Chain A
Amino acid sequence: MFKLAIKNILFYKGRSITTSVLTFVSTMLFVVFVSMQDGSHNAMLENSLKIYTGAIEIYHKEYRDVGGNEYLIQDVKTIIDKLSQIDAIEAVSARYETYGLLSSKGQSAASMVAGIEPSKERVLSSLYAALREGEFLSDTSGNCLYMGAELVKKLRLKMGEELAFVGSASDNSFAADIFKLCGVFKTGSFEFDSSSSFISRSYFDKLMNGENKASYIPVKIKNLDEVDALNSKIVEVLNDEELESLTWKTLMKTLVEAMEVDNIFGYISLSLFFVVIFFVIMIYGFVNVSSRIKEFGVLRCIGLSKSNIFLLLFYEIFILSSAAIVLAAPLAASICYYYSINPIVIEGIAEMYKDYGIVSDEVPFDFNIFTISWNLGVIYVLNFLSVIYPYMYINSFKPIEASRHV
């Protein structure tokens, strides 16, 4: 049957070439498109995680939903000690975040002011790597403020200049102090750079009455793929019903949802191509089969069963699809691999979409053998489906009737 299928493929060249070419095009389109979509999503997530958000963050329950100083974590040291027992954790720290007004000589702006542990933060986030001017904080940097470049611009500050802070402390009392600009960072995230400033906790805790307290505890883990398992472990180790440990999937729910929406629209667009290509492959298959009704009638008359006929059609489409996929898969995979290492750069896209949290002009592809495999699987399935109607059409003829068909 396999030999017969090959003979038929070679005999009906027009149909064979069209089917293979269309399968080749759809394979290339599908694999490259999914790779680009996944790659850009992964990059967005990685960039967001790298900048400031931890892979896991531990909160007092209600802090995120209700907020307020009564929902600050109260016994930070004990929690950090417990977490240090877990090997899979790379770094852990405690952040104290508040919002207040910062005023330079002539300007005022609202800002998130966060007390951080500078030495731990160097490992935990990309704040240190984002340094553009001056210096990063240290545990002894006192009232030094490390500020986003856009906020510095807004306040028209120069390095070393002083600015006033007005906010409220952890006991809801009025908190005010004079800080000094010591460092400027630029992460590329417009919103973050225009609204955030950092100060060493050793100084800030005294001002905010925040010793041994934290807004939350960010955790950096060694392997991001194990985030769910590790999160369960953290919950188990902490064993405190008042705390909640959340992974980046919950913390960045909006971003994850946005990617899902993007995927939906991507697949809607792609489905259009698939429907058209599916129809054309089916039409060519049908045209081919309908010109061979007599041949199929004779085959049935000499003893071939319906399943043999199906097998023949299946072999034909399998060989044609495989020929196209064997050519397309390595080519598409190479493109994905190349652009995963050398991302496409679209100049100005980060600036243009800064309000949407885009921080880089690079659009990297994702190279994942599993993804490529299921993409190829989908193409195979579509091609197999395209022979169902032609097969049903042949079976609508009785063998004798088919053998006399003109």
Chain B
Amino acid sequence: MFKLLVKMAWKNSFLRLSRTLLVIMMIGVSMSMMLGIQGLYDGMTVNMIDKNKRSDSGDISIYAKEYRIEKDLKHTIKNAAQIKEQLQKREGIEAVVLRLRAEGLASTARKSTFTTINAIDLAEEESFGKFSAFLKEGELDLDKRGALVGIELAKTLKIRIGSKVIFSTQDVSGEINSIALKVTGIVQTTNIVLDKSAIFVQSKKLYTFLGVGADEATQIAIKSHDEKLYASLKETYPNLDVKSFLELQPMMKMMQEMMRIFNSITFFIVMSVVFIGILGVMYVSVLDRIREFGIMLGIGMHYKYIRLQIFLEALFVGFIGYASGAILGIILLVYLRDYGLDLSAFADAMQSFGYETTVHGTIKFSYFSTTFLAIMSASVLSVLIPLRKIKTLKPIEVIKAEK
């Protein structure tokens, strides 16, 4: 019996081919567009968070207690090198880097602006956050007077590879000092603060220039996926300021939250409208065949079999719509992931807001699973009203009725 019902449901699903195809198209097109938009927006946020972590804060950062309030060289972590060693021995920590940072004035022969100079160890930064992936122009060479500059800072100062920059700041003893640097590379980290103002120089050189002890650092950045680590570090280092990524970047948290809300609202509205579309077609499809159902009931077929047949019809249409949407969606998402959406026509705006000029999407299994559940539920729910109509049918009257 079940086999027969499946066969009948399949045939009836395509009884009015144009109508069914329209519903399948509606589900397919709207679903693929929704997946594309979700993937693109999620991709933007995920990419931004990933690069912010890799270029700056990691998953957890440690500062001296007062440093974040008053960014002064007085507030360095005095035994940073020792803490780094301790952290490297702990399980669950993938990488640790020390950074020294000072604010000052960068000047070329023609332009000046405020900058932040960052002491980094290229080899460590590479294993911490694949620093080389941030390079946009030039090469990663911090030898001699070599310096890497943020992409927005390079625009502000109108500097290119090979340009000379003088950086002036107050050293640890309060004296104003200057250092001459040669730009060897331009980097885009998509961390808006770094891109706008960062100069990266070799660690040793900056320590000497600022007169800071070799064991000190303004920041210890930690890469780890251990969720318990944050609480544990807070306990281990009560005299230091231990911050998680989202504490340091509340904007990212808000962005993520806003994206989640936006995607949920979009999902709900789209699925509601899709439901209305399926409902309309299923309702008319049942009404068209009301005499047929009357006859089936009249010759003794139980209502539950008719109900099952109609459910199967709705599920077939819903599933084919879902499958077409999933195929289109995967094509769109793979394209967005691999090639991205090219917005280089708006390069200045994208870069100044911390985005790359080509926005790449992301693919998550949850896009497909939640959409599958929603479309299947919408399909099943859409036949409830038509089924009530059949349930209240009086077979004899329906059979007698004029078509």
Contacts and interface: CB of A to CB of B under 8 A. Distances in A.
B272 to A, nearest CB: 9
Contacts of B180: none
Contacts, number: 149
Interface string A389-403: 100010000000000
Contact of A269 (B26, B106, B266): B266
A302 interface: no
Interface string A171-207: 0000000000000000000000001000000000000
Given A110-B105, A276-B274, A352-B250, A286 B37 contact: no
Given A272-B34, A276-B270, A286-B18, A18 B254 contact: no
A377 interface: no
Contacts of B284: 287, 291
Interface string B178-198: 000000000000001100000
A124 B266 CA distance: 44
A275 B273 CA distance: 10
B161 interface: no
A253 B351 CA distance: 13
Given A99-B112, A254-B349, A276-B270, A283 B22 contact: yes
A276 B276 CA distance: 10
Nearest to B31: A276
Nearest to A172: B109
B18 A290 contact: yes
A18 B280 contact: yes
Interface string B221-250: 000000000000000000000000000001
B275 to A, nearest CB: 10
Main SS of the interface on chain A? Answer: helix
B350 interface: yes
Interface stretch (A65-73, A237-245, A337-345): A65-73
Interface in A9-38: 14-15, 18, 22
A111 B23 CA distance: 62
Interface residues of B, number: 62
A75 interface: no
A280 B273 contact: yes
Interface string A138-174: 0000000000000000101000000000110000000
Contacts of A283: 19, 22-23, 26, 277, 280-281
B300 interface: no
B23 to A, nearest CB: 6
Interface residues of A, number: 58
A256 B106 CA distance: 27
Nearest to A191: B196
Interface string A250-285: 000111111011001100110111011101101110
Contact of B281 (A109, A154, A287): A287
B37 A282 contact: no
Given A280-B26, A286-B22, A272 B170 contact: no
A103 B177 CA distance: 12
B352 interface: yes
B105 A101 contact: yes
B30 to A, nearest CB: 4
B114 A273 contact: no
B281 A353 contact: no
Contacts of B112: 98-100, 110, 167
A275 B29 contact: yes
A406 interface: yes
Interface in B123-157: none
B381 to A, nearest CB: 15
A147 B254 CA distance: 31
A107 to B, nearest CB: 7
Interface in A55-81: 65-68
A356 interface: yes
A269 B349 contact: no
Contact of A110 (B18, B115, B350): B115
A97 to B, nearest CB: 10
A287 B106 CA distance: 69
Nearest to B252: A352
Name which of B25, B106, B170 has the most chain A CB atoms within 10 A of its CB.
B170
B158 interface: yes
B90 interface: no
A91 to B, nearest CB: 28
Contact of B22 (A103, A195, A264, A282): A282
Interface in A29-51: none
B113 to A, nearest CB: 6
Contacts of A356: 192, 353
Contacts of B170: 103, 107-108
B110 interface: yes
Contact of B346 (A22, A67, A261, A287): A261
A282 B277 CA distance: 9
Nearest to B23: A283
Interface in B264-313: 266, 269-270, 273-274, 276-277, 280-281, 283-284, 288
A14 B280 contact: yes
B331 interface: no
Contacts of B19: 283, 286-287, 290
Given A107-B170, A283-B22, A355-B192, A290 B110 contact: no
Contacts of A303: none
Contacts of B281: 283, 287
B23 A67 contact: no
Contacts of A101: 104-105, 168, 176
A195 B109 CA distance: 20
Nearest to B106: A110
B33 interface: yes
Given A110-B113, A272-B34, A393 B18 contact: yes
A103 B175 CA distance: 10
A15 B286 CA distance: 16
A195 B168 CA distance: 15
A258 B353 contact: yes
Contact of B30 (A154, A166, A260, A276): A276
- Among A271, A284, A389, chain B packs the most CB atoms within 10 A around the CB of A284
23 contacts: A18-B276, A66-B110, A68-B109, A98-B112, A100-B105, A100-B112, A107-B170, A110-B104, A110-B106, A195-B114, A272-B34, A272-B266, A276-B270, A276-B277, A279-B22, A279-B26, A279-B277, A280-B26, A283-B22, A286-B19, A290-B18, A356-B192, A406-B403
